[in-house]
Amino acid sequence: MRSLVDKILGPHRHDTLIAWLFVAPWAIGFLIFGLYPIVMSLYYSLCQYDVLRVPRFIGLENYQALLFEDPYFWKSLWNTLYYVVFRTPLSIFGSLFLASLLNQQLKGMPIFRTIFFIPSIISGVVLSVIWLWMFNPEYGLINSGLAFFGLPGPLWLQSASWSKPALVLMSLWTVGGGRMLVFLAALQGIPKHLYEAVELEGGGWWTKFRHVTLPLISPILFLWTVMEVIFSMQVFVEAYIMTNGGPANSTLFFNLHLYNKSFNDFQMGYASAMAWLLLVITLAVTWFQFRLSRRMVYYEGGN
Amino acid sequence: MFTTLSAPRVWKLTKRALAYLFVSSSALLFLIPFLWMLSSSLQTEQEIATTDMRWIPETFHWENYVNVFEAMPLWTYFQNSIFVTSLFILGTLLSASLVAYAFSVLRWPGRDKVFILVLATMMLPMQVTMIPIFVLYKNLGWLNTFKPLIVPAFFGGGAFNIFLLRQFFLTIPRELFDSARIDGCSEFQIYWRIVLPLAKPALATVGIMTFLFTWNDFLGPLIYLSDKMKSTMALGIVMFVGQHKTEWALLMVASVIMMLPVILLFFFFQRYFIRGFMMSGIKG
Amino acid sequence: MREWIIRAGYVVGLGAILAFVFLGAPKEVVYTDGKIHFDYWYNVGQEDVIPWPVIAFNASQDRIVVHPVAIPWQESEKKILTAVISGDPPSLVSQFVPLVKWASRMALRPLDNFITQDNFDTGIFFPALMDEMMYMDRVFGLPQATAAYALYYNKDIFREAGLDPEQPPRTWDELIQAAHAIDSIDADGRIQRMGYLPDWDNLLPSIMQTSLLMAWELGATLLSDDGRTAELDDPRFAKSLQWIVDYYDDYDIKRVRAFRGTFGYDTQHCFISEKVGMFIGSNFIMDNLQRYRPDLDYGVTTIPTHELGGPTASPAGVFWYAIPRNAPEAEAAWEFMAYSTQAEIQLEAMQHTKENLFPSNRIAAQDPIFQDDPYMKIFANQMNHAHSPAVVPLAHEVFWRELNMNAVDLIIDKTKTVQEVLDLANAQVQRELSAALEYQDYVLSIMHFETEEETP
């Protein structure tokens, strides 16, 4: 068989053919689930389309309506931005802080690690349900706990001003996940002699952190920050289950607005336009982060 | 033990004590939502709806764990979840390993460029493809079946998994392949007989992470399934919320049940969980 | 030992997976009893009981079996959408949103041929309800139930305020006078009780409570006859909104808002907790009064009019039955619909549910149960003057959002004038309406409603 193919295609061609056979699952998947949908969604974004009826081409009207006439578009962008801006640093530094705590070689670390890790692997659905109950203004644990100390508890998810902070707070429960493990490994990889050098010069923990730890883990920190930003921009499940965008659209995140437009209002064309704007925004944000990184990230043996 | 207690020594011990204190109290804080959930799951609706915190329920209403199966078809949801998840894992392991093989063991022109394309697809927000894929499934007649939740797994299984497996395959010594080829093995045989068995740990890791993803996945079932009896657990639980009066006790029970396999799996396969997440931190 | 456990775990796990894979996959249900079976999707209400008409219908004959499936509110639109486009929908659905939303999207099956075939008299329904079932001159659904409205007033509060509890206000002017007599504001300016809140629904601001009713009484429809132009800036509607602004001139808005913040569900409802003396509400309130405050001495009267003897108006949302496009058992579903909308069935259904939905069948409303009870009689009569709240059906959500959530607060805060708000809302609604119409016209030139399969 091999020699036959060799005769027809030539020896190197044979390897390439085999390789492509192996890659075929991904390649076909890319065409069907990647390229085709991207092109189609661009087309839909230029149409009115509710899936029940045929699409109607309307040019850039969707984008026009989206950018200039839809108040919820900007509101949802703002909500998402708020969430990303508050959640990302808290999550990243939360994980980092936790990692440095666990780096102390304390006894019983596996147990602690487990406790911190588990919240990150349970379903977003279960998370939402647990915290929906925790945040319940009358019977939830948080307000009951606050009442115990004599403090008034806000309405949390039923208050337009506390709803987003509540969601950010909730996301802190998962800081002990994979991200923290990566940071832990990174911290453990820092050569001790660098710390000792700082100590000899009389530096305290802040100096150690700023001049040794931070620069050395900055590549990892940066990478995970980028991923965290992209991930936070996708926020949907919590808002869908816990608040459905309320109260007063305070938790109407971009994805939720998109979902509502698609499956409640049946405006698939409009929603496709939103998706494309999201893509552009995501790319822009990521590009921006990479530019920022040149100034702040230290690559060993590099810049 | 009783050496001189010099100042730096005391400081070091204090630091450790403080760290211990901090870590334990944080761990306790982290445990609280779980404990609260467990406690709520063993109370009745009336008991739950009081404003005094009651950690240990007066009576343990174990019957909640039976009643929940009447309140919603939880067992069906469970079965559906297992069905979808196991097939998805199978598809992912098969196709991701095939593709990863091509990007690591084989050499062919354009290999690295195509790999960058693979990685790039990770950046694509799913919203962009969500609607056309939905329409595609509609045209195929796959809506309201499990196919949309399973079939994509067989087409590469996700760029991330390909990446993970590729990293692992790259660590296999080339001599193994060369000698196998000399012995006349086809690439597929090498893949099947040599690489796969060697890659068991990596496959286990990918399997575990895929399990997490599918078991917890909610958006897929939300969009593609409309038949109540076809829901998975994730979707089933959501439907239980926001009925006219949310039954918190039973909801907590359902959540505990949904969490159980994940936690059990974690305890048995901790190594693979941790490795999986760690490997994602190593950027080539 | 540990190895052993892990290995055993693998085997068990694999076995379980295989078992589930082969046994757990949901199988299509196949009925072999020779009867027609179809699914009926409805929204779960306050209580999760099987709708009585289904039980009665299944028991009354043995050719057809209806399978009721309850679906949660939040999900229903999406589920029905997916079901319809997957080509395998239930044969019958009931929903609450304007029927036109589904009908205009070619998701439903026209019923005209069934109606002609069976000589079904659609006149048995309240006109407002039946009107909502029409789209492009075709019938797409049958009204199942509704909620009737009236003006509730608290007789005890009336007495306290020196008003005659047997003489509730009949006109809007009389209402203002009664309201002022009832108002109770303490020395600090905090409101203890108000006579009437013209912009407040059960838990949210709403223009429906007063302004829309007033506009309807004046004859405004807010939509052109051909349904293509929004007329939110109709001066009659503007006048009705201005009425609210003027009403609140006598109060400190901040105090009113704080007062409203104390309202809640059930026992904390503004009327049930006696914080408000008069309230335009649906017959649901009567249920809740019965449940939470059976001691509350209240009365019910027709919604006030502009002049004595003038026309009254009330809103009438409708729960409807409809048959999705491509339904497998359309005929059977129709038979069920025709059966369950009969007067006797609707009356019987009322006995079997704790939720007091008002029947959609006019003849049912003539029954002694309604006519002999002084309160129910008022509700029944009010239904004859009902209007569909789907004022601009093709732009329904935008209409309600722009007016209910946005406009009311703006005008009573005097952030915007009534005219500004209406112009803005009209522009938004018109834009949505025009887009929907363009799409509709385009689609109709390609697809058609024929009762047999359409060409998509």
Full DSSP string of C196-249: --TTB-SSSB-SIIIIIHHHHHTT--SB-TTS-SB-TT-HHHHHHHHHHHHHHT
DSSP 8-class letter at C185: E
Nearest Cα to Cα of residue B272 among A121, A97, A126, C20? A121
C42 and C353 Cβ atoms separated by less than 8 Å: no
SS3 content of chain C, % helix, strand, coil (to 5): 45, 15, 40
Please indicate whether, in this complex, the C-beta atoms of C105 and A52 are within 8 angstroms of each other.
yes
Q: Which of residues 131-170 of B touch A (CB under 8 A)?
A: 131-136, 138, 152, 154-157, 162
Please indicate whether, in this complex, the C-beta atoms of A264 and C78 are within 8 angstroms of each other.
yes
Q: Mean pLDDT in chain C? A: 85
CA distance B81 to B88: 10
Pick the CATH number of C36-147+317-384 from 2.102.10.10, 3.40.190.10, 3.40.50.970, 3.40.50.10800: 3.40.190.10
Which tens digits make up the pLDDT trace of A107-118?
Answer: 777 888 888 888
The string of DSSP codes covering C125-174 is: B-HHHHHHTEETTEE--EEEEE--EEEEEEHHHHHHTT--TT----BHHH
Please indicate whether, in this complex, the C-beta atoms of B53 and A148 are within 8 angstroms of each other.
yes
Distances (CA, A) of C29 to B211, B258, C38, C433, C443: 29, 27, 11, 43, 36
pLDDT at A62: 92
What sign results for the dihedral spanned by CA atoms B233, B235, B236, B237?
positive
B210 and B161 Cβ atoms separated by less than 8 Å: yes
Nearest Cα to Cα of residue A173 among B257, C183, B29, B64? B29
Q: Report yes or no: C69 at the B interface, CB cutoff 8 Å.
A: yes
Which tens digits make up the pLDDT trace of A189-222?
Answer: 888 888 888 888 877 777 778 888 888 888 888 8
Please indicate whether, in this complex, the C-beta atoms of C85 and A51 are within 8 angstroms of each other.
yes
Chain B residues lying within 8 Å of A31, measured CB to CB: none
Residue C31: Cβ within 10 Å count: 10
Query: Domain residue spans in chain A?
Result: 2-44, 67-296
pLDDT at residue A301 greater than cutoff 50: no
pLDDT at A71: 80
Half-sphere exposure of B115 (CA within 13 A, CB side): 23
B118, B127, B192, B265, best to mutate vs chain A, most A CBs in 10 Å: B127
Residue type, C444: L
Higher per-residue confidence, B70 vs C44: B70
Give the residue carrying structure tokens 């000698």.
B179
Nearest to B263 among A111, A118, A237 (CB): A118
Higher per-residue confidence, B114 vs A108: B114
Chain B residues lying within 8 Å of A26, measured CB to CB: 95, 99, 118, 155-156, 162
Please indicate whether, in this complex, the C-beta atoms of A262 and B131 are within 8 angstroms of each other.
yes
- What whole-number percentage of chain B has pLDDT above 90? 7
Which tens digits make up the pLDDT trace of A79-95?
Answer: 999 999 999 999 999 99
User: A268-296 and A36-44 helices cross at what angle (nearest 10)?
Assistant: 120
What sign results for the dihedral spanned by CA atoms A83, A278, A257, A33?
negative
Please indicate whether, in this complex, the C-beta atoms of C447 and A53 are within 8 angstroms of each other.
yes
pLDDT at C451: 45
Residue type, C320: W
B164: its two tokens: 């993970």
The three-state DSSP-derived secondary structure of B103-157 is HHCCCCCCHHHHHHHHHHHHHCCHHHHHHHHHHHHHHHCCCCCCHHHHHHHHCCC
Chain B residues lying within 8 Å of A112, measured CB to CB: 23-24, 27
Nearest to A279 among B128, B134, B281 (CB): B128
Which tens digits make up the pLDDT trace of C290-324?
Answer: 888 899 999 999 999 998 888 999 988 888 999 99
Q: Mean pLDDT in chain A? A: 85
What chain C residue is nearest to A62 in terms of C-alpha separation?
Answer: C435
CA distance C83 to C78: 8
DSSP 8-class letter at B5: -
Which tens digits make up the pLDDT trace of B200-227?
Answer: 888 888 888 899 889 998 888 888 887 7
pLDDT at residue C450 greater than cutoff 60: no
Nearest Cα to Cα of residue B96 among A21, A25, A29, A31? A25
Region B54-71: mean pLDDT is 78
Q: Cα-flanking dihedrals φ and ψ of residue C179, to 5°?
A: -60, -45
Any chains having at least 3 CB pairs less than 8 A from chain B are A, C
Distances (CA, A) of C56 to A129, C333, C454: 38, 14, 34
The string of DSSP codes covering C403-426 is: IIIIIHHHHHTTSS-HHHHHHHHH
Nearest Cα to Cα of residue C385 among C179, C156, C129? C129
pLDDT category at B5 given cuts 50, 70, 90 is: low
Q: Which of residues 56-85 of A touch B (CB under 8 A)?
A: none
| Angle subtended at Cα B51 by Cα B50 and Cα B54, rounded to the nearest 5 degrees | 80
Burial class of residue B102 in the structure, from the number of CB atoms within 10 Å of its CB (0-12 exposed, 13-18 middle, 19+ buried): buried
Q: Tell me the CATH class for C153-315+389-439.
A: alpha beta
Chain C residues lying within 8 Å of A269, measured CB to CB: none
- What whole-number percentage of chain C has pLDDT above 70? 92
CA distance B108 to B130: 33
Q: Report yes or no: C79 at the B interface, CB cutoff 8 Å.
A: yes
Which tens digits make up the pLDDT trace of C340-382?
Answer: 999 888 888 888 877 778 888 888 888 888 888 888 889 988 9
pLDDT at residue A12 greater than cutoff 70: no
C123: its two tokens: 């006149």
A119: its two tokens: 């919240």
Which tens digits make up the pLDDT trace of C161-198?
Answer: 999 999 999 999 999 999 999 998 888 888 889 999 98
Tell me the fold of B65-279.
Answer: MetI-like fold (1.10.3720)
Chain B residues lying within 8 Å of A25, measured CB to CB: 95, 98-99, 154-157
Task: Please name every residue paired with A62 in a beta bridge, in sequence order, or none if there are none.
Answer: none
Region A285-292: mean pLDDT is 84
pLDDT at residue A168 greater than cutoff 80: yes
The string of DSSP codes covering C292-304 is: H-TT--EEEEPPP
Shortest Cα distance, chain B CAs vs residue C444, angstroms: 21
Distances (CA, A) of A174 to A146, A170, A181, A257, C114: 22, 8, 12, 25, 58
Q: Cα-flanking dihedrals φ and ψ of residue C86, to 5°?
A: -80, -5
Burial class of residue B51 in the structure, from the number of CB atoms within 10 Å of its CB (0-12 exposed, 13-18 middle, 19+ buried): exposed
CA distance B79 to C20: 6
pLDDT at B282: 46
Chains A, B: CB contacts under 8 A, how many?
A: 249
Q: How far apart are the first and last CA of chain A?
A: 52
C443, C447, C455, best to mutate vs chain A, most A CBs in 10 Å: C443
- Complex ipTM: 0.81
pLDDT at residue C206 greater than cutoff 90: no
pLDDT at B65: 85
Please indicate whether, in this complex, the C-beta atoms of B242 and C86 are within 8 angstroms of each other.
no
pLDDT category at B52 given cuts 50, 70, 90 is: low
Tell me the fold of A67-296.
Answer: MetI-like fold (1.10.3720)
Chain B residues lying within 8 Å of C72, measured CB to CB: 239, 242-243
Residue type, B43: Q
B67, B226, B266, best to mutate vs chain C, most C CBs in 10 Å: B226
pLDDT at A302: 34
B18, B24, B155, B205, best to mutate vs chain A, most A CBs in 10 Å: B155
- What whole-number percentage of chain B has pLDDT above 70? 89
What chain A residue is nearest to C87 in terms of C-alpha separation?
Answer: A52
pLDDT at A44: 94
Region C154-159: mean pLDDT is 92
CA distance A297 to A217: 9
Give CA torsion, residues A60, A64, A67, A70, to 10 deg: -120
Q: Mean pLDDT in chain B? A: 82
Give the range among A42-46, B65-69, C74-78 with minimum mean pLDDT: C74-78
Shortest Cα distance, chain C CAs vs residue B10, angstroms: 42
Please indicate whether, in this complex, the C-beta atoms of C456 and A54 are within 8 angstroms of each other.
yes
Q: Report yes or no: A158 at the C interface, CB cutoff 8 Å.
A: no
Q: Which of residues 22-61 of B touch A (CB under 8 A)?
A: 22-24, 26-27, 30-34, 36-37, 40, 48-53
Q: Among the ranges A141-150, B258-267, C271-280, which has the highest mean pLDDT value?
A: C271-280
What chain A residue is nearest to B117 in terms of C-alpha separation?
Answer: A30
What chain B residue is nearest to C16 in terms of C-alpha separation?
Answer: B82
Half-sphere exposure of C224 (CA within 13 A, CB side): 10
